[in-house]
Amino acid sequence: MTDYKKISMDGLWNNNPATVQILGLCPLLAVSGSVVNAMGLGLATMLVLAGSNFAVSLIRHFVTPAVRLPAFVMIIAALVTVIEMLMQALTFELYEILGIFIPLIVTNCAVLGRADAFASKNAPLPAVLDGLMMGAGFLFVLLLLGAMREALGQGTLFSNMQLLFGPMAENWQITLIADYRGFLLAILPPGAFIGLGLIIAGKNVIDKRLKDAAKRREAAEPKTSRRVRTTGTVT
Amino acid sequence: MSLITVTSPHTTGQRNHTGAFMRQVIYATIPGVAVLTWLFGWGTLFNLIIAVPAALIAEAAVLKARGRDVRFALSDWSAVLTAVLLAIAIPPTSPWWLIVIGIVAAIVVAKQLYGGLGMNPFNPAMVGYVVLLISFPLEMTRWIAPHEAPSWFDSFRMVLASANVDAITGATPLDSLRTWAGNAEQLASQPILHGSFAGAGWEWVNLAFLLGGIYLLARKIISWHIPVGMLAGMALIALPFWLADDVRYASPLFHLFSGAAMFGAFFIATDPVSAATSRYGRLIYGALIGVLVWVIRSNGGYPDAVAFAVLLMNMAAPTIDYYTQPRSYGHRKAKRGASR
Which site among B94, B133, B135 would you substitute to test the A interface, given the most A Cβ atoms closer than 10 Å to its Cβ? B135
Task: Name which of B109, B135, B137 is nearest A183 (Cβ-Cβ).
Answer: B135
Among the listed residues B174, B158, B184, B159, the one whose alpha carbon sits nearest the alpha carbon of residue B99: B159
Q: How confident is the model over B318-325, as a mean pLDDT?
A: 87
Is residue A234 assigned to a domain? no
Contact B109, B82 (CB under 8 A): no
Predicted confidence (pLDDT) per residue in A147-167, tens digit? 999 888 888 888 888 888 777
Average the pLDDT over each of B20-34, B50-64, B263-277, B315-329 and give the range with the smallest value. B315-329
Query: Is the separation of the CB atoms in A18 and A196 below 8 Å?
Result: yes
The answer to whether residue B91 scores a pLDDT higher than 50 is yes
Count of positions (residues) in chain B: 340
Q: What is the pLDDT of residues A198-210, one digit of tens each?
A: 999 999 999 999 9
In this predicted model, which residue has the larger pLDDT, A137 or B301?
A: A137
Over residues B43-47, mean pLDDT: 89
| Chain A closest-CA separation from residue B340 CA (Å) | 33
For residue A190, give how far its alpha carbon lies from the nearest alpha carbon of chain B (Å): 10
Q: Which residues of B touch A179 (CB under 8 A)?
A: none
Q: Which residue has the higher pLDDT, B233 or B72?
A: B233
Q: Which of B5, B15, B85, B17 is nearest to B48 (CA)?
A: B85
For B96-142, the pLDDT digits (tens) are 889 999 999 999 999 998 888 888 999 999 999 999 998 888 888 88
Report yes or no: B107 and B79 within 8 Å, Cβ to Cβ: yes
A185 contacts in chain B (CB < 8 Å): 131, 134-135
Q: Which residues contact A147 (CB under 8 A, 6 or more apart)?
A: A35, A38, A157
Are B219 and B24 in contact by the 8 Å Cβ rule? The answer is: yes
Domain annotation covers residue A219: no
Is the CB of A185 less than 8 angstroms away from the CB of B137? no
Are B134 and A181 inside 8 Å of each other by CB?
no
A184 in reach of chain B (CB within 8 A): yes
CB-CB under 8 Å, A188 with B134: yes
DSSP readout, A4-30? Answer: HHHHHHIIIIIT-TTTTS---HHHHHH
pLDDT at B60 (0 to 100) = 94
Which residues from chain B sit within 8 angstroms of residue A188, using beta carbons?
134
Q: List, for residues A113-130, the tens digit of each pLDDT value.
A: 889 888 988 899 999 999
Q: Contact B135/A185, CB-based, under 8 Å?
A: yes
Q: Are B317 and B274 in contact (CB under 8 A)?
A: yes
**Mean per-residue pLDDT for B22-42?**
91
C-beta atoms surrounding A123 within 10 Å: 12
Pairwise CA distance, residues B82 & B200, whole Å: 28
Task: Report the range of poorest mean pLDDT among A41-45, B96-100, B177-181.
Answer: B177-181
Expressed as residue numbers, the domain containing A41 is 4-213
Looking at the predicted structure, is the pLDDT value of residue A234 above 70?
no
CB contact under 8 A, A194 and B134: no
Does A198 reach chain B within 8 Å, measured CB to CB? no
Q: Tell me the average pLDDT of chain A.
A: 86
How would DSSP label each residue in B53-100? HHHHHHHHHHHHHTT--HHHHHTT-HHHHHHHHHHHHS-TT--HHHHH
Q: Do B136 and A194 touch (CB under 8 A)?
A: no
Residue A220, domain member (yes or no):
no
Residues of chain B with a CB closer than 8 angstroms to some CB in chain A: 109, 131, 134-137
Cα separation, A114 vs A56, in Å, equals 10
pLDDT at B123: 94
Query: Quick one: chain B helix, strand, coil %, rounded to 5?
Result: 65, 0, 35
Position A5, amino acid: K
CB contact under 8 A, B135 and A184: yes
Number of A/B CB contacts below 8 angstroms equals: 14
- Give the nearest partner residue to B134 out of A181, A184, A194, using CB atoms: A184
Residue B225 in contact with residue B286, Cβ under 8 Å? yes
Residue B135 to residue A194, Cβ atoms within 8 A: no
Whole-angstrom Cα Rg for chain A: 23
* pLDDT score of B310: 95
**pLDDT for the residue B108:** 92
Distance CA B7, CA B221 (A): 13
Closest Cα in chain B to A201: B113
Q: Can you give the residue ranges of every domain in chain B?
A: 14-170
Q: Which of B86, B33, B80 is nearest to B307 (CA)?
A: B86
Q: Is the ipTM of this complex over 0.85?
A: no
What per-residue confidence (pLDDT) applies to B70?
86
CB B182 within 8 A of CB B174: no
CA distance B1 to chain A (A): 47
Does the distance separating the beta carbons of B109 and A181 come in below 8 Å?
no
What are the Cα distances from residue A75, in Å, to A56, A116, A144, B236? 8, 12, 29, 58
Does residue A171 form part of some domain? yes
What is the distance between the alpha carbons of residues B162 and B165, in angstroms, rounded to a whole number?
9
Q: Inter-chain contact B135–A190, Cβ cutoff 8 Å?
A: no
What pLDDT is recorded for position A1?
Answer: 47
A186 or A224: whose pLDDT is higher? A186
- Beta partners for B144? B169
Q: Shortest CA distance to B258 belongs to which of B318, B192, B314?
A: B192
CB atoms within 10 A of CB A143: 15
Identify any residues that bridge with A156 across adjacent strands, giving them in sequence order: A175
> Count of CB atoms within 10 A of residue B319's CB?
11
In the three-class reduction of DSSP (H, G, I as helix; E, B as strand; rest coil), residue A221 is classed as coil
pLDDT, position B336: 57
Look at A169-178, B87-96, B196-205, B328-337 and tell me which has the smallest mean pLDDT: B328-337
Provide the 10 A C-beta neighbour count for residue B138: 7
Asked whether the beta carbons of B272 and B123 are under 8 A apart, the reply is: no
A175 neighbors A156 (Cβ within 8 angstroms):
yes
| Closest residue by Cα to residue A139 from A49, A9, A5, A76 | A49
In whole angstroms, what is the distance from residue A89 CA to residue B49 CA? 58
Q: Radius of gyration over alpha carbons of chain B, in Å? A: 20
Q: Is residue A118 part of a domain?
A: yes
CA–CA gap between residue B305 and residue B174 (Å, rounded): 10
Instruction: Tell me the chain B residues in contact with residue A189 when contact means C-beta distances shorter than 8 Å.
Output: none
Nearest-angstrom CA–CA distance, B147 and B149? 5
SS3 content of chain A, % helix, strand, coil (to 5): 70, 0, 25
Mean pLDDT of chain B: 85
pLDDT at A226: 60
pLDDT-based confidence at residue B21 (cuts at 50, 70, 90):
confident
Work out how many domains chain A is built from and give that number.
Answer: 1
Of the two residues B99 and B16, the one the predictor is more confident about is B99
pLDDT tier for residue B270 given thresholds of 50, 70 and 90: very high
- Across the interface, do A181 and B136 touch by the CB < 8 Å criterion? yes
Q: What percent of chain B has pLDDT over 90?
A: 45
CB contact under 8 Å between A184 and B137, yes or no, is yes
**Interchain CB contact of A188 with B (< 8 Å):** yes
In chain B, which residues have their Cβ closer than 8 Å to the Cβ of A190? 134
DSSP-based three-state secondary structure for B263: helix
Among A6-15, A98-107, B8-17, B35-44, the least confident range: B8-17
Residues 6 or more apart from A222 whose CB is under 8 A from it? none
Among candidates A181, A185, A194 on the partner chain, residue whose Cβ is nearest the Cβ of B134: A185
The whole-angstrom separation of Cα B136 and Cα B157 is 19
pLDDT band of B339, cuts 50, 70, 90: very low
Q: Does A205 touch chain B (CB under 8 A)?
A: no
The CA distance from B144 to the nearest CA of chain A, in Å, is: 22
